Structures are given as structure tokens and as C-alpha cells.
Structure 1
Amino acid sequence: MIEIKSLHKSYKTGSTSLHVLKGIDFSVKEGEMVSIMGSSGSGKSTLLNILGILDEADEGTYTLDGVLIKNLNEKIAARYRNKFLGFIFQSFNLINYKSALDNVAMPLYYQGVKRAERLDRAMHYLEKVGLAEWATHLPNELSGGQKQRVAIARALASDPKVLLADEPTGALDSKTSYEVMEIIQTINDEGKTILLVTHEDDIAHMTKRIVHLKDGIIIDDSPVKQQRAKTALHV
């Protein structure tokens, strides 16, 4: 599903250049659930931006579902993001003046889906995350966990090939984090490919493989025995 070879990325900082990614080789098969860990400055945010087609590498190749992602103009990049990727953010990124239902339906608007179908599909995914009764509520009427559930429903609405989750539990308490991870694990159990960036070791062990980045290189990439969020929640 994802194939990255010899990926390099540098940024200009004044008169100097900061080499952030230093030859990353990385692949993810369809249906995998992988976490990416690393301290600040390790390169994980840069890698996620490249995977999310929000930035482009200086060297190397990135292939997503058989499509080479290279030299895209913004219009094509946006189309590929809509077609291939769903995003879940730490800060939820919901539109404050739109209801939960309209937030979930938003990606379908950009795909040209008619309003009635958009709302039907959005309600389906709100039901999936247990928030059908909150469909008409605005984000400021929802708890942090509910906001993240809305964000998950929005990410799923366009049926992406890959879910990219950037610190999805970073703004949540432990109990709510595990509830959110239980939903994410269920989505993965249904076959969705998921990449998750986290600082939290317990959250990383709720995936099936952990990739450790340090100073722009992968220092470890190992499968792990997955801890089920539901079990952890009731310990």
C-alpha cells in the first residue's frame, strides 16, 4: 500500500540547511496498523507530511497504492489526498460553526457527492462511532473524546485507502484515549490500513508494529504483540 525508498528531506534555515530525513526506507502492507515514534526533531512529522501529500521529498520515491507521488501540482495533490487518505489530528480540526453531521460530510462535498447522499453517509459513520444522537450538535457542545470520534467519522466518510492519525490521543485523558483507540482498532480489524504517530508507549503497543525514528533515520522497525484497547480500558 505504501512504499518509500531512500527518502531524503532538507529544509533551508537562513543560510544553512537542516537535513531532516536521511534515507528512509519504509513500507506498509494493506491492512497493517503501524505506529511511528520518535522524540521532537526525529523527523516523524516531516515523514507524516510527506505520506499525507502535504510536502514532497527532495530525493527518493513514495508510492501509494501503486501510484508514484511526485511533482504534483496542488490540484492533483488535493485530489489524491481526497482519494487515498483520511486524516485524524490531535486538535480535531473541526469547523466550529458546523454540526457534527456537516463536519463529517465535508470531505464528500469536495468529492462532488450530492447533499442527500453526503448526509446519509455522514450519519452512517456517526452511527459507527456511536454519535448518531449528537449529529446536530456543534463542536463546542461535545467533549474531547466526542470531537475525536467526529474526526474519525469524517476521516472514514470518503472511504480512504489509508488513515493517517497524528497524535490522535494527545489531547485526551487515558480513559478517553483507550476508547478512541478501541474505535481505531475496530476500523483496522475491518481491513483499513492505519499509520499512527504517537509519543505514548501504551498507545503504540495498541498497534501491530512500531517504527522508531531518531535523527532522521529508522533505528528500529518491529512487530509487537498488540494490546487491545478494550482490555486495557478495563484493567
Structure 2
Amino acid sequence: MIEIKDLHKSYKTGSSELHVLKGINFSVKEGELVAIMGSSGSGKSTLLNILGILDEADSGSYILDNVPIKNLNETVASKYRNQFLGFIFQSFNLINYKSALDNVALPLYYQGVKRNERNEIAMSYLKKVGLESHSHHLPNELSGGQKQRVAIARAMASHPKVLLADEPTGALDTKTSYEVMELIQGINDEGKTILIVTHEPDIAAMCKRNVVLKDGLIIDDKMVEQVRISAYV
């Protein structure tokens, strides 16, 4: 599903260059649930931005679902993001003046799906995350956990190949975090490929594989015995 070889990325900081990724080799098979870990400055956010086609590496190769991701203009990059990827953010990134239903339906609007059909699909995903009765609520009428559920429904609505989650539990309390991870585990059980950037060991333990970055390199990459949410209940 994902194949990255010898990926390098640097940023100019004044007159000098900061070498953030220093030759990343990384592959993900379909259906994996991977935690990407590392301290601040390790390169995990840069890696996620490249995986999400929000940034481009200086050198190396990135293949997503057999499609080379390189030298894309913004139109093509946007098309690929919408076609291949679903995003879940720590800050939810919901549109404040749109209802939960409209937020979930938004990716389908950009895919050209007609209003009635996209609302029907959006409602089915709100139902899947347990928020069918909140479909007409605005984000400021929802709790943090409910907002993240809406964000997950939105990420799923366009049937992405891969879900990319950037600290999806970072703004939530422990109980709500585990509820969100239970939902993510359930989505993965259905076969969806999911990558989660997290600094929380208990969240990483709920994944099936842990990848650790340090100073722009992968220093550990191992399969783990997944902790199911029921173990905490």
C-alpha cells in the first residue's frame, strides 16, 4: 500500500539547512494499524506531511497504492489526497458554521457527488460512529470526543485507501481517547489501513505495529501484541 525508499527532506532556516528526514525506508501493507512515534523534532510530522501529499521529499521515492507520488502540481496533489487519503487531526479541523452532516459530506462535494447522495453517505457514516442523532449539530454544540467522531466519519466518507491520524487523541481525556481508539480499531478490523502519529505509549500499544523515529531516522520498527480497548474497561 505504501512504499518509501531513501527519503530525505531538508528545510532552509535562514542561511543554514535543517536536515529533517535522513534516509527513511518504510513500507506499510494493506490493513495495517501503525503507530509512528518520536519526540519533538524527530521528523514524524514531516513524514506524515509527505505521506499525506501535503509536502514533498527532496529525494527518494514514495509509492502509494502503486502510484508514484512525485513532482505533482497542486491540482493533481489535491486529487490524489481526495482519492487515496482520509485525515484525522488533533484539532478536528471541522468547519464551525457547518453541521456535522455537512462536515462529513464535504469530501464528497469535492468528488462531485450529488447533494442527496452525499448526504445519504454522510448520514450512514455518522450512524457508524454513533452520532446519527447529532447530524444537525454545529461543532460548538459537540464535545471533544463527538467532534473527533465527526472527523473520523468525514475521513471515512470518501472511501480512502489509507487513514492518516495526527495525534487523534491529543486533545481528549483518557476515557474519550480510548473510546476514539476503540472506533479506530474497529475500522482497522474491517480492513482499513491506518497510520497514527502519537507520543502516547498507551495509544501506540493499541496499534499492531510501532515505528519510532529519532533525529530523522527510524530507530525501531516492530510488530506488537495489540492491546484491545476491552482490556482497559
Q: Structure 1-normalised TM-score?
A: 0.99
CA distance in 2 between partners of 1:168 and 1:231 (Å) = 20
2:158 corresponds to 1:185:
no
1:217 match: 217
Consecutive unaligned residues in structure 2, runs of 5 or more: none
The one-letter code matched in structure 2 to 1:28 is V
State the match for 1:60 in structure 2.
60
The count of aligned residue pairs is: 233
Q: CA deviation at 1:15?
A: 0.4
* 3-state secondary structure, aligned to 1:184: helix
Q: Name the residue aligned to 1:134.
A: 134
1:179–1:230 contact (8 Å) kept in structure 2: no
Q: 1:31, 1:91 → 2: CA distance?
A: 25
* Identity among equivalent pairs (%): 79
Tell me the secondary structure at the aligned position of residue 4 of structure 2: strand
SS in 1 for 2:81: helix
- 3-state DSSP of counterpart to 2:34: strand
- Find the aligned partners of 2:139 and 2:230 in 1 and give their Cα distance: 26
In 2, Cα distance between equivalents of 1:231 and 1:82? 35
Report what 1:75 is aligned to. 75
Check whether the contact 1:178–1:230 (CA below 8 A) recurs between aligned residues. Answer: no
User: Helix, strand or coil: the match of 2:188?
Assistant: helix
Does structure 2 retain, via aligned residues, the 8 Å contact 1:84–1:161?
Answer: yes
**How many angstroms does 1:231 deviate by?**
2.5
- CA-CA distance at 1:229 after TM superposition: 1.6
Q: Could you say what secondary structure the match of 1:191 adopts?
A: coil
Indicate the SS of the match to 1:185. helix
Equivalent residue runs for 1:74-223 within 5 Å: 74-223=74-223
Deviation digits for residues 99-144 of structure 1, max 9, x if unmatched?
0000000000000000000000000000000000000000000000
1:26 corresponds in structure 2 to 26
Which secondary structure state, in structure 2, belongs to the residue aligned with residue 195 of structure 1? strand
Please list every run of at least 4 consecutive aligned residues from structure 1 whose deviation after the TM superposition is greater than 6 angstroms. none
CA offset at residue 211 of structure 1? 0.2
8 Å contact 1:206–1:228 — kept in the other structure?
Answer: yes
Q: Secondary structure at the residue paired with 1:22?
A: strand
Q: For 2:231 and 2:154, locate their aligned partners in 1 and report how far apart those are by CA, in whole Å.
A: 26
